Amino acid sequence: MYLSEAAEGIIPTTLWADGAEFGHNQDGIRELRALEVGDFPTPKPEKLISKVVSLATNPNDLVLDSFAGSGTTGAVAHKMGRRWIMVELGEHCHTHIISRLKKVIDGEDQGGISKAVDWQGGGGFRYYRLAPTLIVNDRWGNPVINPEYNAAQLAEALAKLEGFIYAPSETCWWQHGHSSERDFLFVTTQNLSAEQLQALSDEVGSNQSLLICCAAFRGVTAAQASQRWPNLTLKKIPKMVLARCEWGHDDYSLNVANLPMAAPQPPSLTPALSPQVGRGRKTADAGPDLFGDGEEGKA
């Protein structure tokens, strides 16, 4: 927090020490116990976080807690009509945060600030598990595809990065995804020869196009390839992934403005792990993006 010169002498505890207004750590512990999600060493009282959220944001703003802990920030932001993103690497993401937010959404959580904001439940959330890094350095320091990725995972990851829908065809071996009815994606870790590229171009035909993500190609330059096979686009995998990432910025332009909405699912299809989502959610298909197809729950 920025303090003016006149305020620099203030001991920070005087700002937030009013237990009646901001609550105590004991309140945080009691609030969490009431939710029966298990204890957490440092839960903040919801009142305190609600003060911070009301000072710094307006309804519908995005609130980020990248060290989510027991999930107080998300719970409070949700009850206050803010959107939120929480990041947590511990197992309490499942034991505490998901259980807690489900109770908030179901309106079951009547503790914390619920009474003050007349919280009745509603809204929803989606949950994503981070994949391992796609690119690692080999022993010479060169970027290579992480060997932990199998072929299907790699194709799925590149489909997402390139804006394709991952949908491997059961009948056509080179169709790993599509961006339209006639535009397809093929991912391979091979070094493709000019003969292989010619064969692919023949199969694709003149009415369709194919983006080929491969480790390398030989016997032809990129410029020659684009002239010779206008229905093919060639990209080399480590390079194309690296080109999509941002490096060394203080301010990363993560685009969270166009999150796709959850697709409607009948309850029987709800994934077991679904941390799910609550009532009254509007659905629409906004297409793939960075957050394209996380685990999500029923509408």
Ligand X SMILES: C[S@@+](CC[C@H](N)C(=O)[O-])C[C@H]1O[C@@H](n2cnc3c(N)ncnc32)[C@H](O)[C@@H]1O
Residues at the contact surface with ligand X, assessed by CB under 6 A = 42-44, 65, 67-70, 72-73, 87-90
The least distance separating ligand X from the CB of residue 169, rounded to whole angstroms, comes to: 37
The least distance separating ligand X from the CB of residue 73, rounded to whole angstroms, comes to: 6
Cβ atoms of 54 and 80 closer than 8 Å:
yes
Name the one residue in this structure whose structure tokens are 């959580």: 109
Nearer to ligand X, 113 or 234 (CB): 113
Cβ atoms of 229 and 217 closer than 8 Å:
no
4 DSSP β-pair partners: none
Cβ atoms of 244 and 159 closer than 8 Å:
no
The least distance separating ligand X from the CB of residue 92, rounded to whole angstroms, comes to: 6
Cβ atoms of 289 and 138 closer than 8 Å:
no
Cβ atoms of 75 and 129 closer than 8 Å:
no
The least distance separating ligand X from the CB of residue 97, rounded to whole angstroms, comes to: 9
Nearer to ligand X, 26 or 180 (CB): 26
Give the CB-nearest residue to ligand X: 69
The least distance separating ligand X from the CB of residue 4, rounded to whole angstroms, comes to: 27
Tokens linked to 5: 């010169």
Distance CA 204, CA 293 (A): 27
